[in-house]
Amino acid sequence: MPASVVLGAQWGDEGKGKLVDRLAESATWVARFQGGNNAGHTVVIGDRVLKFHLLPSGITREECGLVLGDGMVIDPWVLDRELSDWVEGGGTDPTGSRLFISNRAHIILPFHTYVDGLDKKIGTTGRGIGPTYADKINRIGLRFADLNYCNTDEMAARQNTVLESVGCTQRVSSDELREQIDWVINRFSSAITDTGILLDNALKLGEHIILEGAQGCLLDIDQGTFPYVTSSVTSRANSTHGAGLHPGHVENVIGITKAYITRVGHGYMPTELFDEVGDHLGTVGHEFGTTTGRKRRCGWFDAVVMRHANRINGFTEIALTKLDVLGGLDEIKICVGYRMNGHEINEMPASAIALEDCEPIYVTMPGFPLLSVEEWLGIAKKCNTEGIGFQGLPFAAQNYINKLEALLGVPITSVGVGPDRDATIDRV
């Protein structure tokens, strides 16, 4: 059975966790392939709200294996806390039984968080992600495979030189590093393995694997709105590479997009709203970052962004989330192009500075009623139980979905209408 890839198609926070949680019910493995605890996934099961940063969303499915893949950067202390929270909430520690860590993944050390905490320009999460990837590219990083072989004297000396050069007051010592490394070995040795071989064998056995992305396409280090991006490749091309597989395994690529758009951190967003509609989206959509708690900037759906994301990733289907948040608006706008220096363009400029000169060109559609969370959940259950799909949605909402499909040229196969696991309508 081929692997499926689930990717964010905007600037992240599109609702990947909820979708992966649903898909994991029929999957054998869920594997993260990039990023670290700068990601945040939320899964709502009834009254229980689960927030994950490193653990793949398939953690809620006891029969599903979990992989932290080659392309990730992992803070082992954050992972330990997340596992402890999971156990305290009634779960079983999966370490070494169904949770496995790639021996090729790089380790986030306290040094990396010290350096990242100095950022004022990009608006990073401060979790040490960028500095860890920088050490990886500079070929001086620490991988799980090399824990038993590192020279802590050399490592401490190098890190302190960097800390001094960037004006950071913190320092590290060789003894502290040795203690930290020994702790990581003792805590996670049962889980550290060559996960690429594990996943390859699973595919040979016909098992279903979900490759789970973290940040969205527009945060991709190469294809995103540089420099306001993350430090890894977030797109389809890295889904297999970052998991230790070849790309021929992938057949289905699901792009996740909100029915509007949000962004956290710095960088221009052409459709950003600074009015009561923006307030409505942020309030009704509870738009605060899972990882940082920062307020998300909100705007109208941007088809230019989505065309760019689709060109890079080749989505075979789209999962639309948070359609319910648009309820109560008299009219809904969709950006179909930009006006830049007096000319109309249909594709995103590569330069973040040039993007600031882009004004959105909109089409306007009628809105649909504001409904409660319970009402939307009832609609979703009715649509799925009776097998009527999107036909159970308000007529204006159906038209909105049809318009997005026509603009993007990719089928929308599911629509989210609330935070609950069951508040998703599948197309028939």
Joined tokens for residue 247: 């790309």
CA distances from 245 to 45, 222, 237 (A): 32, 21, 11
Which among 13, 21, 116, 302 is annotated as catalytic? 13
| 275 a catalytic residue | no
358-366 and 301-302 strand pairing: unpaired
| 41 a catalytic residue | yes
Cβ atoms of 138 and 88 closer than 8 Å: no
Kindly report each contact of residues 386-390 with a partner whose C-beta sits within 8 Å and lies 24 or more positions away, as own/partner: 387/428, 388/428, 389/425, 389/426, 389/427, 389/428, 390/415, 390/425, 390/427
Cβ atoms of 84 and 54 closer than 8 Å: no
The contacts of residue 106 (CB under 8 Å, 6+ apart) are 72, 73, 74, 132, 133, 135, 136, 141, 142, 143
Please tell me the distance from the alpha carbon of residue 354 to that of residue 383, in angstroms, as a whole number: 44
Q: Residue 195, Cα to own-chain centre: how many angstroms?
A: 21
The contacts of residue 27 (CB under 8 Å, 6+ apart) are 4, 58, 61, 64, 208, 209, 210
DSSP string, 111-157: HHHHHHTT--SS---SSSHHHHHHHHHTT---BGGGTTT--HHHHHH
User: What are φ and ψ of residue 226, in 5° steps?
Assistant: -55, 135
What is the C-alpha end-to-end distance of the chain, expressed in Å? Answer: 23
Which among 21, 41, 208, 420 is annotated as catalytic? 41
Please tell me the distance from the alpha carbon of residue 16 to that of residue 257, in angstroms, as a whole number: 9
Active site residues: 13, 41
